[in-house]
A and B are shown apart, each in its own frame.
Chain A
Amino acid sequence: MRITLVIPQMLRSTVGGAGTLRLSLDEEATLRQLLDELAVTHPALERRLRDETRTLRRYVNFYVDGTECRALDGAATALGDGVEVRIVPSVAGG
């Protein structure tokens, strides 16, 4: 299946300036598997989204077709064909 990953402006330098990536994943893939794929193809992006224990970074949100993944099944959230995953940094800090 194919999904679209939307990259925020501040991370586009890690993927050659692209605003979106189109990725092919196995059927029934989850957000975790998407990030595992990124760790191979785009490691400079992936390590800004997860730490080395593969835990999602606290202040990075992953909207799966408009719903933040932590309101679903977190990294285990199932992705479907044609889904859009949007990376949105939290509004935080001072």
Chain B
Amino acid sequence: MSPSVLLVIGTRKGLWLARRNGGRWELTGPWLPMTEVYSVAVDTRGEPRVLAGTESPHFGPTLVTSDDLGKSWQEPEHAPVAFPADTETSLRRVWQIVPGSPEEPGVVYAGTEPSALFRSEDGGSNYELVRGLWDHPHRTEWFPGFGGQAVHTVLPDPRYPNRILVGMSTGGVYRTTDGGAEWNPANHGIRAYFMPENEYPEFGQCVHRMARNTAAPDRIYLQNHHGVYRSDDGADTWDSIAEGLPADFGFPVAVDPADPDTVYTFPLVADQHRFPPEGDCRIYRSRDGGDSWEGLGDGLPREGFWSAVMRDALCLDDADPAGVYFGSRSGEVYASSDRGESWTRIAQHLPDVLSLRAAVV
């Protein structure tokens, strides 16, 4: 029998929950209506906790938690994620929520706009600014992409809690090995074509998303603003794995939690043509670490699909085999239980899907 899976769907106008019991999906929502939900997480290190970063156009951003799988939501009286007064900065949005290492069960990280990292030690209710990254001398040279200047990817190393990678648009990849006091850029080999005076700068790359397999933490995949890369040495160096894809532009990348060679992406034609090639909705999968790719479209709209998949709207669950999920800007959510070979639409007509996370609960 299939395990019970919770899929959390963050959209531009609230959050939906999809629950699979047996082979059937049940959808509830909208929760947190009229908020933009750019980040969601399901922390299964203890009793399951669902976390969501929301932004009300009127009343600003916040971060809420649920300990009953979304039936009720809590947040502290004071802002859970807020810049200290001396920074003279205000939070625009929480782009990423990531549970820390299993060895630190209370630790949760939040990546934000403007580009900063926050750390919680109480399971994700209250956060403090990680000063080492905020005070980095490069910070004044990071600049916003279309989506804003944000830390959108946070990858704690499951072996060593003090080792953390962050990705930002723009700014690139930064790495700490001491828990956040000192950070160094880690972009060797990633091209920044929009900086013609030096296309391989130390920093300034426009990273769209990174993914790490917890069983092989030194292998990291990266979707760049043009360019798809893999590192096998913990982000010391990056090599292109774009050959075999129909385009090297796109936003999401996700890796199978049980197989570090199996990786998924959703190519778009180009920066100036952000559509699936020929309007054909296909997830691209590699089973050899990006050395070769295949397009998977069984069950997906094969023509007239002019939508896109945002950076956090492609994910896998922790079942065996892992379920694969993606959501579109046109409000559809698709699921695959056979590693992408075939797909089933489990939601449609939602607002733009911004974020997805799934877990066995």
- Interface residue? B79 (CB, 8 A): yes
| B70 → chain A closest CB, angstroms | 18
- In angstroms, Cα B85 to Cα A51, docked, is 11
A11-52 vs B, Cβ < 8 Å mask (1 yes, 0 no): 100000000000000000000000000000001100111011
B80-101 vs A, Cβ < 8 Å mask (1 yes, 0 no): 0011010011110000000000
B90, A52: Cβ atoms closer than 8 Å = yes
Contact among B34, B57, B91 for A52, CB-based, below 8 A: B91
List A contacts of B91 (CB < 8 A).
51-52
Range of interface residues on B (Cβ < 8 Å): 10 to 19
A11, B82: Cβ atoms closer than 8 Å = no
- Interface residue? B77 (CB, 8 A): yes
- In angstroms, Cα B82 to Cα A90, docked, is 24
List A contacts of B146 (CB < 8 A).
none
| A21 → chain B closest CB, angstroms | 15
- In angstroms, Cα B60 to Cα A2, docked, is 28
- Interface residue? B58 (CB, 8 A): yes
Within 126-153 of B, Cβ neighbours of A (below 8 Å) are at none
A55-89 vs B, Cβ < 8 Å mask (1 yes, 0 no): 10101100000000000000000000000000001
List A contacts of B59 (CB < 8 A).
11, 48-49, 57, 60, 89
- In angstroms, Cα B85 to Cα A47, docked, is 14
- Interface residue? A53 (CB, 8 A): yes
- Interface residue? B78 (CB, 8 A): yes
List A contacts of B56 (CB < 8 A).
48
- In angstroms, Cα B82 to Cα A50, docked, is 12
| A36 → chain B closest CB, angstroms | 13
- In angstroms, Cα B77 to Cα A44, docked, is 5
Closest 5 CB pairs of A and B: A48-B59, A51-B90, A52-B82, A59-B58, A89-B58
Chain B residue, CB-CB nearest to A52: B82
The chain B residues found within 8 Å of chain A, CB to CB, are 34, 56-60, 62, 75, 77-79, 82-83, 85, 88-91
**Chain A interface residue count, Cβ-Cβ cutoff 8 angstroms:** 17
Cβ contacts A to B, 5 pairs, < 8 Å: A47-B62, A55-B90, A89-B58, A89-B59, A93-B34
Residue of A49, A51, A52, A90 with most chain B CB atoms under a 10 A cut-off: A52
Knowing A52-B82, A52-B85 touch, does A47 contact B90 (C-beta < 8 A)?
Answer: no
Knowing A43-B78, A47-B79 touch, does A53 contact B60 (C-beta < 8 A)?
Answer: no
Contact among A44, A53, A93 for B88, CB-based, below 8 A: A53
| B89 → chain A closest CB, angstroms | 7
- In angstroms, Cα B80 to Cα A43, docked, is 11
A57, B89: Cβ atoms closer than 8 Å = no
A59, B57: Cβ atoms closer than 8 Å = yes
| A53 → chain B closest CB, angstroms | 5
List B contacts of A11 (CB < 8 A).
59
Given contacts A44-B78, A89-B59, A93-B57, list 12 more A-B pairs with CB under 8 A: A11-B59, A43-B79, A44-B77, A47-B79, A49-B59, A51-B60, A52-B79, A52-B91, A55-B90, A57-B60, A60-B58, A92-B58
List A contacts of B90 (CB < 8 A).
51-53, 55
Residue of A11, A44, A47, A57 with most chain B CB atoms under a 10 A cut-off: A47
